[in-house]
Structure 1
Amino acid sequence: MSPHRIALLFNANKVYDRQVLAGIGGYLTFTRVKWDLFMEEDFRSHALGIRQWRGDGIIADFDDPVVAEAVSALSIPVVAIGGSYADESQYPNGIPYVATDNQKLVRMAYDHLIDHGLQRFAFFGRPLEPGHLWAHEREMWFRRMTAADGLEGIVYHGSSVSAGGWGRAQEEMAEWVRALPKPIGIIAATDARARQLLQACVVADVPIPDEVAVVGIDNDPIVQTLSSIRLTSVIQGAEEMGRIAAQLLHQMLHGGDCSSTRILVPPSGIHVQGSSQHEHVRSPYVMRARHFIRQYACTGIKSEQVAGYVGVSRTLLEEHFKRELKKSVHQAILDHKLEVAMQMLADPKASMAEVAVRSGFTSLQYMYAVFRREYDCTPKQFLAQRRV
């Protein structure tokens, strides 16, 4: 019996879509179902000619209105994947729909910021454009949550970023950040938006997370790699969505009626990093110093350079650090380097030498010496203890 021919209409350039595709692949591997899979190499044209598709089924990204329109009228089995909606009329009729739960995504980010003692909140969304209805759904839930708590929910849409307009968009974002009441927690509609926000805070010279704490959505590893400040991000249950969608299509290919099925998949967790770990700090000197340390600790900065950035003498800055944090500036730099090293150690593909260099230690031997002094064990032993 020939395998079913299935089209997957997704943009593999996006981390969310790749995770959905991984979930589909996971289902096929686990069940040993054999499908002949088609994916358009150029995502910009993946809806062209789909009405002439001579296959057996489709799993498609219905957040893309062009794709949704192209496949909705097809007579073959179709499973839709997209965002959840409070307005039931936004869901397609007669097509099974697997959704990321936008309410729970925002709730997880909002509760995380509340847990860190913040009482002011903002949302960095997107302009209203085709294909971004999910972003406005997240914005709507943010407004509802802050209103229910009797708080003002500040919303900023910003611009649709292009290379030509990036400079102006960043400056506008920096001006918005400067004008915000502080301290404040900001939820970004995606990690990509969150990365732009982190860059704007650096341009605006606004300390993160002391004055602005940021949470994104997607847990995109590329964003982590490109950001000097590690981003806290809500992890969507995208792989689970892919598995469920593949299971529904498998049932439909064998005569099952799933046309009225609608499944909302909650987030799978939150990856907590430095961008959201707000602590109340009274000294503006310590606040600015920690902002500088988070950006440049792994480049080999010294205490004198931190004091120079803050604009005070090293002696005065040390006094403020001892009073506020009960540690020296040098220890704060070292703590950040150790934190980065510990995060990298969790990646089995990273060599020890790479971890040492990228976390700012002058040599592998020095990193080992610091781990023994601070934790009384080697980096590998520390990682094993943490896993236990």
Structure 2
Amino acid sequence: MPHKRTVLVALTDTHHGFFRGIARYAKEHNWHLATDMIYTAHIPHGWRGDGIISFIGYWDELANFIVRSPLPKVELTLVRSDLDLPRVDTDNVSMGRLAAEHFLARNFKNFAWLPFANNIISEERCAGFRHTLKQHGFDCTILPVAHELGQSDKTFAWNWEQQRQQLIDALNQLPRPIGIFCYNDCIAADLVDACQEAGLLVPEEVAIIGVDNDPIICECVSVPLSSVMNDLEGVAYEGAALLDRLMNGEPPPNELLRVQPKGVVTRKSTDILAVDNVQVAKALRAIWENYTDSNLSVLDVVAATELSRRSLERAFLEEMRHTIQKEVLRVRMEEVQRLLITSDASVAEISELTGFARPNHLFRIFRTIHGMSPREWRQGNRKQSI
């Protein structure tokens, strides 16, 4: 009878996606999971098993326990980049890119980044956000970090009242309307509260997007939060697969495996168009609501406004810096890319869902834009690593 592997689940983070990803892999490969730490928060000194999968966070005692263990181990984040451990993480730069594209699509021209802590993940997400904005001629304001880390023990030094006042003072100095990208849903929810305390309207004056798409947070805020979908289940599943390879005697990989985010879930906190021209806003709304209709025409968009075709086209070009036809195509292609990453739908099914009359029409346009087929793009973006 083959040996049944026992794996210690050493998570200090409560994201359910991590649990689901590890559990799914364990079920498929007949592992026994030691989950006591989830309930006790006690390090099992003297524990015997086959491997460890961890999210250490800033718990130094746990970090020392795992680093000293002779067992194969995999860490599920870059938060403790100072530790020499095999690891899997999300593509944080892509998260920043998605957030920037989300705001740019809504015609925002003012942007800010709100970090949660001064760590490498924060740096990467901010870098992806700023790089995408700079490609379009914009930059962003960096707001005060929510948690400054201690220099020696990596513990949080935090005065809530002081931090809240600093945030409100910074918000009052920002141009509006503005789109703010937050490190995670936790800090995004706090930002909604701070905006309301400062008398700022969300999303009319301050549009907010977080990361993780945690429904416990996003759907229970006074203004429901838009969020970048962090594939935490995918990170944990790939982490478990890497641990399995290490337990089989394979060497640790030379490259860090990155799991792609799964797109953006739009809720009320960004459900607004940052345009001065009301008629252009109506046109954009018509496009967003009807882009799945392959028969959608410029005349249909014009009909949703109170302008003539010529007047709307002129106003649209002035406000958006591209044509109505290009905006329809941009919205459709954005959804095509999201479905290629987050679903297993065929190209034919995706073309139907996104308003392309024929799959070969989508294929031709996609290759023109990306220089490759939809299938090649899907494979590259699902398996991207650095």
TM-score, normalization by structure 1: 0.62
Q: Tell me the alpha carbon deviations over residues 28-57 of structure 1, each in whole angstroms, 9 at most, x when there is no partner.
A: 23x242324233145754xx455x332210
* Corresponding residue of 2:182: 188
Seen in structure 2, the aligned counterparts of structure 1 residues 146 and 56 have a Cα distance that, compared at 3 Å, is same
* Corresponding residue of 1:97: 87
* Corresponding residue of 2:124: 137
What amino acid is the match of 2:10? L
Measured in 2, the distance between the counterparts of 1:3 and 1:84 equals 31
Shift of 1:165: 4.5
Measured in 2, the distance between the counterparts of 1:40 and 1:200 equals 34
Measured in 2, the distance between the counterparts of 1:5 and 1:261 equals 26
Indicate which of 50, 56, 73 corresponds to 1:56: 50
Shift of 1:167: 4.2
What amino acid is the match of 1:155? I
CA-based RMSD of the aligned residues comes to 3.2
Query: Match of 2:217, SS?
Result: helix
Measured in 1, the distance between the counterparts of 2:33 and 2:59 equals 26
Query: Match of 2:76, SS?
Result: strand
> Quick check: 262-271 or 219-228, which moved more?
219-228
* Corresponding residue of 1:303: none
Task: Indicate whether 1:153 and 2:154 are aligned.
Answer: no
Q: Tell me the alpha carbon deviations over residues 326-345 of structure 1, each in whole angstroms, 9 at most, x when there is no partner.
A: xxxxxxxxxxxxxxxxxxxx
Task: Indicate whether 1:35 and 2:32 are aligned.
Answer: yes
Task: Indicate whether 1:123 and 2:113 are aligned.
Answer: yes
Measured in 1, the distance between the counterparts of 2:11 and 2:265 equals 25
Whether the 8 Å contact between 1:126 and 1:136 is mirrored in structure 2 is: no
What amino acid is the match of 1:208? V
Shift of 1:12: 4.6
TM-score, normalization by structure 2: 0.62
What amino acid is the match of 2:164? Q
Shift of 1:224: 2.4
Query: Match of 2:201, SS?
Result: coil
Whether the 8 Å contact between 1:63 and 1:83 is mirrored in structure 2 is: no
What amino acid is the match of 1:153? C
Measured in 2, the distance between the counterparts of 1:261 and 1:282 equals 46
Measured in 2, the distance between the counterparts of 1:28 and 1:44 equals 21
Measured in 2, the distance between the counterparts of 1:72 and 1:211 equals 47
* Corresponding residue of 2:346: none
* Corresponding residue of 2:210: 216
5+ residue gaps, structure 1: 285-321, 324-385
Whether the 8 Å contact between 2:10 and 2:52 is mirrored in structure 1 is: yes
What amino acid is the match of 2:124? E
Seen in structure 2, the aligned counterparts of structure 1 residues 260 and 138 have a Cα distance that, compared at 3 Å, is same
Whether the 8 Å contact between 1:59 and 1:79 is mirrored in structure 2 is: yes
Q: How many residues align?
A: 271
Q: Where in structure 2 are the equivalents of 1:225-304 lying within 5 Å? A: 225-260=219-254, 262-280=256-274
Shift of 1:200: 1.1
Whether the 8 Å contact between 1:214 and 1:275 is mirrored in structure 2 is: yes
* Corresponding residue of 2:5: 4
Seen in structure 2, the aligned counterparts of structure 1 residues 243 and 127 have a Cα distance that, compared at 3 Å, is closer
Seen in structure 2, the aligned counterparts of structure 1 residues 194 and 26 have a Cα distance that, compared at 3 Å, is same
Measured in 1, the distance between the counterparts of 2:222 and 2:193 equals 9
Identity of aligned residues (%): 24
Indicate which of 186, 194, 200 corresponds to 1:200: 194
Q: Where in structure 2 are the equivalents of 1:296-335 lying within 5 Å? A: none
Whether the 8 Å contact between 2:11 and 2:56 is mirrored in structure 1 is: no
5+ residue gaps, structure 2: 149-155, 279-304, 307-352, 354-386
What amino acid is the match of 2:89? A
Measured in 2, the distance between the counterparts of 1:268 and 1:69 equals 33
Shift of 1:111: 0.6
Q: Tell me the alpha carbon deviations over residues 151-187 of structure 1, each in whole angstroms, 9 at most, x when there is no partner.
A: 332011244499x944443333223222210111100
Query: Match of 1:251, SS?
Result: helix
> Quick check: 275-284 or 52-61, which moved more?
275-284
Shift of 1:79: 1.4
Query: Match of 1:233, SS?
Result: strand
Whether the 8 Å contact between 2:13 and 2:55 is mirrored in structure 1 is: no
Measured in 2, the distance between the counterparts of 1:151 and 1:91 equals 33
Query: Match of 1:207, SS?
Result: coil
Q: Tell me the alpha carbon deviations over residues 296-342 of structure 1, each in whole angstroms, 9 at most, x when there is no partner.
A: xxxxxxxxxxxxxxxxxxxxxxxxxx99xxxxxxxxxxxxxxxxxxx
Q: Tell me the alpha carbon deviations over residues 280-299 of structure 1, each in whole angstroms, 9 at most, x when there is no partner.
A: 46699xxxxxxxxxxxxxxx
Seen in structure 2, the aligned counterparts of structure 1 residues 101 and 283 have a Cα distance that, compared at 3 Å, is closer
Whether the 8 Å contact between 1:190 and 1:217 is mirrored in structure 2 is: yes
What amino acid is the match of 1:197? L
Query: Match of 1:152, SS?
Result: coil
Whether the 8 Å contact between 1:57 and 1:253 is mirrored in structure 2 is: yes
* Corresponding residue of 1:82: 77
Query: Match of 1:134, SS?
Result: helix
Seen in structure 2, the aligned counterparts of structure 1 residues 210 and 281 have a Cα distance that, compared at 3 Å, is farther
Measured in 2, the distance between the counterparts of 1:281 and 1:24 equals 44
Whether the 8 Å contact between 1:117 and 1:278 is mirrored in structure 2 is: no
Measured in 2, the distance between the counterparts of 1:78 and 1:240 equals 18
Query: Match of 2:77, SS?
Result: strand
Query: Match of 2:191, SS?
Result: helix
Measured in 2, the distance between the counterparts of 1:44 and 1:155 equals 35
Query: Match of 1:40, SS?
Result: helix
